[in-house]
Amino acid sequence: MAKALITSALPYINGVKHLGNLAGSLLPADIHARFRRQIGDEVLFICATDEHGTPAELGAAEAGLAIREYCCRQHVLQANIYRRLNLSFDHFGRSSSRQNHALTQHFFRRLEENGFIEERVLHQFYSHEDGRFLPDRYVVGTCPHCGSQRARGDQCEDCARTLDPTDLIDPRSAISGSTDLEIRPSRHLFLKQTALVEELERWIATRTGWLSLVTSIARKWLDEGLQDRCITRDLDWGIPVPKPGYEGKVFYVWFDAPIAYIAATQEWAELNPETRDWRRWWQAEDVEYLQFLGKDNVPFHAVSFPCTLLGSREPWKTVDIIKGVNWLTFEGGKFSTSERRGVFLDEALDLLPADYWRWWLASNAPEGSDTDFTFDRFVQDVNNDLSDTFGNLVNRTLAFVTSRFQGVVPGTGAPSEAERQLEQDLAQHLDALRRHHATGSLRKAAEDVRAIWRLANGYFAAQAPWASFRTDPDRCRVTVRTAVNLVGVCATVAWPFIPSTAETVLASLGLPQGIPAWPAADSLRLVKAGSTIQTPPLLFRKLTQDWAEEQRNRFGRRTSAPWRAGPPS
């Protein structure tokens, strides 16, 4: 039994996340965690809300709440949504926890002791009206490259060019809108990543199984010359810097956020200290550590966080596999939290149950390139895969058992060449599915699941038990018994993707509840002759083009929403 430590990128605290956030990290991580549990691995799946930095402060200001109260409310809101989405975290913590405060300060002290921290003076905007220094995202203005007025002090929202606040034309405060800004010196602390380049190069060279997307992003940062990173900010909310002269400053959110993976594991362990030891996950060699995240987060996880861990000179577990993906776009445009552009998770769950969204996002995962979400495509895929293929298989099979055999799985009858060939074909599909799950190839895994559903439908149609019911009763019984077990296999392989529906189907077959074990050699004989089954209610309703048009009109009008200063996308 292997040990798999799985983390997904921490969702920002600033409001409900959109479908792109779910597709980019949370859902792929959950599907992989569920698969690893199915094959019997010991799994720890950790996540948390990312609560520090300018997104939190600006979100709280917009909501008119004290920042601590805002973060508490938003954490509860997000946690409830993720439960409704059936994300199977072992623990969903908070980066503002006392554990993360202590651990982040510990890492800083270790890095400073080892000579990897340096003090420098930066020149930053100071707002007279706000009475404070303005970190990069607190400064907005006009982009010097494309002329967009949607630029922030770290990046232009339109052309995506990286910026410094002083690059902006007509800069102003994102808090008050004031243009009464002055450039003043401010002392800050830097993590000397340049001193760790050779060590980082050697570490990356030992990583195997990384996607080319991840490797190319990491290599780009190294090839262009890795820079030292400022790890402090002039903010009120965050983890205080434990160094004289730095009172009133906090750590940069991207310094403390990855450390929260470890801190959330500590918090998880404290909930049951007699049986859970967090060190066996973070300070052990027999653990495979996998991170799931969008491509924009790759540099921080492939470069910056490893520098923190390596520079500590302590035996921390570093990531083995980074599963980075491209972006999900929305009707030809960009999802955006700050502009409320796209479909957000609470809205999605109000429209349809979680499994509709989970299946579409997994089967169209933006792995090789960006994927565009459109309601037309969503309707077509959901109807074809969930309603016409899987849902139809379950309904026609179990309804036949109910109508012809009073809901009792028939006995007698010997398998024929058709069943032997079926088992061979099924075994090949299961092998392919397991390989694709193991490599985190989500779209290919979904294709394999779809192929198994189609195999089952094809078997049932070809054997036509409704025709043999009177002409060859034994043949009919074998077909029905096999088809019932095929339904069980189809639900079992679907469980990582559509867990709620899969559990409904497995319960209707009288199979044990909980984590359904990966199909074994006897998977077509698990539901025994004489077992009583039930026909579940309609699993997936068909969606119409009118429904698609209604949603496109509802959500599409937000794609041109005017920009305002606010939390990042």
Task: Report the binding-site residues for ATP.
Answer: 337
Q: Where are the alpha helices (DSSP H) in 295-388?
A: 298-299, 305-311, 345-351, 354-363, 375-382
Distance (Å, whole) CA 535 – CA 406: 11
Q: Are 308 and 258 in contact (CB under 8 A)?
A: yes
Token pair recorded at residue 503:
């559990």
3-state helix, strand, coil in the chain (%, to 5): 50, 15, 35
Per the annotation, where are the binding residues?
Answer: 143, 146, 156, 159, 337
Distance (Å, whole) CA 544 – CA 287: 47
Distance (Å, whole) CA 154 – CA 296: 14
**Angle at alpha carbon of residue 437, lines to 49 and 517, rounded to 5°:** 95
User: What are the angstrom distances between the C-alpha of 509 and each of 242, 334, 402, 516, 541?
Assistant: 59, 43, 12, 13, 21
Backbone angles phi, psi at 51, to 5 degrees: -110, 5
* Helix, strand or coil, per DSSP, at residue 329: strand
Q: SS3 sequence, 512-546?
A: CCCCCCCCCCCHHHCCCCCCECCCCCCCCCCCCHH
Distance (Å, whole) CA 297 – CA 13: 16
Q: Where are the alpha helices (DSSP H) in 332-374?
A: 345-351, 354-363
Token pair recorded at residue 510:
């009288």
Distance (Å, whole) CA 401 – CA 535: 9
Distance (Å, whole) CA 138 – CA 303: 26
CB atoms within 10 A of CB 451: 17
Q: Are 268 and 91 in contact (CB under 8 A)?
A: yes
Token pair recorded at residue 373:
């979400």
Task: Single out the residue of 356, 354, 343, 362 nearest to residue 383, CA to CA.
Answer: 356
Q: Side-chain half-sphere of 569: how many Cα atoms within 13 Å?
A: 25
Task: Single out the residue of 567, 569, 520 nearest to residue 52, CA to CA.
Answer: 567
